[in-house]
Chains A and B, each alone.
Chain A
Amino acid sequence: MSDFARRLEQEIPALRRYARYLLRDAERADDLVQDCLERAITKRRLWHNPDRFRPWLFALMRNLHLNQVRWRGRRPSEVPIDTASPLTPHPESQVDRVQAVEALAALEDLEADQREVLILVAVEGLQYKEVAETLGVPLGTVMSRLSRGRERMRAAMTGGAPGAATLRRIK
């Protein structure tokens, strides 16, 4: 098996997680992952930097997803009634269920931009510059979304006021 195929295979679990987050539907998520894998193989020559494999794949999948949403958007009659089912704890999750449900509800209440950054950083463990590459936004934007998202989530989890003690950025 080629090195490329082996690395691709190793990324499947992360791709499935991210796809489930994007689509909220395990079946459609696996279809998206399959699209992404097929696309990655046809575009493999465009992948140059060995350290940036996951952001490259994530960006590929995210763009496929956005294109599919747009494509469906032009054909309203074909749009499945997208209930945007809420994020739910994974059945094998070892986290206390009450805590998990509370945290996921707080996550859902964030603005979509902040939520996506928090998922990529806190759940997927991407570095900040990798998140910036995946989303195609500047690093500073990633940092401010991350900081604000965490602050709002903390406020929701503790019932306190948001932004209680945010440090001012020091250049």
Chain B
Amino acid sequence: MNAAARPVNEEELQAWVDGWLDPARRGAVERFLAENPDQAARLGDFRRHGDILRGSLRGPDREPVPERLLRAARGGAARRPARWLPTAMAAMLVLTLGLGGGWTLRGALEKPDEVAPGAGAAGGDLLVRAAAAHRVYSVEVRHPVEVRAEEAHLIAWLSKRVGTPLSAPDLREFGFRLMGGRLLPARDGAAAQFMYEDAAGRRITCYIQADTKGVETAFRFAEEDGLAAFYWLDGALGYALVGPLPREEMLGIARAVYRQTEP
């Protein structure tokens, strides 16, 4: 029996789905599918499901490759970053937006006091709690927030518990809708977390705590593997904005939060 006339088998059908079919057998498979609409529908579904999976899971090829992996690929010594949550400050690169001085980049652990006199620990503590809360709650499907934005008492309740009048920043100009908020522990008391979501399902959280001991800081930036955070103390409240967005996008949103909450 010559190759074109041989009956098709399951392996060949799978190979047709994946584009690995021997070209000599394409005619036979396509004739078979024309005569067997059930099989054509089945293979069509296989292709479609494959497209959905590929589209859903692929992504890291569009992300910038971390420098440490590039160094490792080139055979250089690549340091592993310390972990953000367990080791707090060690992991951070702090980016200060000096009021007149432009951008400077330094390690917060080495010289935290130069970044924000007297406030290194307070800001780091804020960041660690905000990031932990973000990681825990932003992945929640059923209960991402404790009180939904639609409920009128959300702001009054959080203000009362945090101990100072709060407002939820309006981030609709960036495509982020307020989902609601929740009450969380802070170092000495309570903090509020507001959660936002955009049309793509990305979630960012704004963590606000009252305990700043009157310290003010510039914007500081930290990021680790896909999560970016800007955080600052404004003398009355401490803010940390955390989300899976690129730095520039987070900065725009952080500036809007800052404008809206200026004391």
Contacts of B68 in A (CB 8 A): 30, 34
Q: Is the CB of A91 within 8 A of B50?
A: no
Besides A34-B68, A170-B9, 20 other A-B contacts (C-beta < 8 A): A9-B65, A13-B63, A17-B59, A26-B226, A30-B69, A90-B58, A91-B59, A91-B202, A93-B55, A93-B57, A93-B58, A95-B56, A107-B53, A121-B18, A143-B11, A150-B46, A150-B49, A167-B9, A169-B9, A170-B7
Q: A17-B57, A128-B20 are in contact. Are A143 and B73 (CB under 8 A)?
A: no
Give the contact stretch, choosing among A47-55, A61-69, A96-104. A96-104
Interface residues of B in 119-162 (CB under 8 A from A): 139
For B6, give the chain A residue with the smallest CB separation: A170
Count residues on chain B whose CB falls below 8 Å from chain A CBs: 50
For B79, give the chain A residue with the smallest CB separation: A34
B10, B53, B63, B78: the one contacting A167 at CB < 8 Å is B10
Q: Is the CB of B50 within 8 A of A122?
A: yes
A30, A91, A107, A125: the one contacting B244 at CB < 8 Å is A91
Contacts of A17 in B (CB 8 A): 57-61
- B3 CB, min distance to chain A CBs, angstroms: 14
Listed by A's residue number, 11 A-B pairs whose Cβ atoms lie within 8 Å are A16-B60, A16-B65, A16-B69, A97-B200, A100-B52, A103-B52, A103-B53, A121-B50, A164-B38, A168-B10, A169-B10
**In the assembled complex, A85 has its CB within 8 A of some CB on chain B:** yes
Count residues on chain A whose CB falls below 8 Å from chain B CBs: 60
A12, A16, A118: the one contacting B53 at CB < 8 Å is A118
Q: A92-B62, A143-B10 are in contact. Are A123 and B53 (CB under 8 A)?
A: yes
Q: A33-B69, A99-B52, A154-B45 are in contact. Are A123 and B57 (CB under 8 A)?
A: yes
Interface residues of B in 230-247 (CB under 8 A from A): 244
- A98 CB, min distance to chain B CBs, angstroms: 10
Among B9, B11, B60, B62, max chain A CB count under 10 A is at B60
Q: Is the CB of B50 within 8 A of A26?
A: no
Rounded to whole angstroms, the CA-CA distance of A20 and B58 in the bound complex is 11
**In the assembled complex, A41 has its CB within 8 A of some CB on chain B:** yes
Q: Is the CB of A89 within 8 A of B56?
A: yes
Rounded to whole angstroms, the CA-CA distance of A118 and B54 in the bound complex is 10
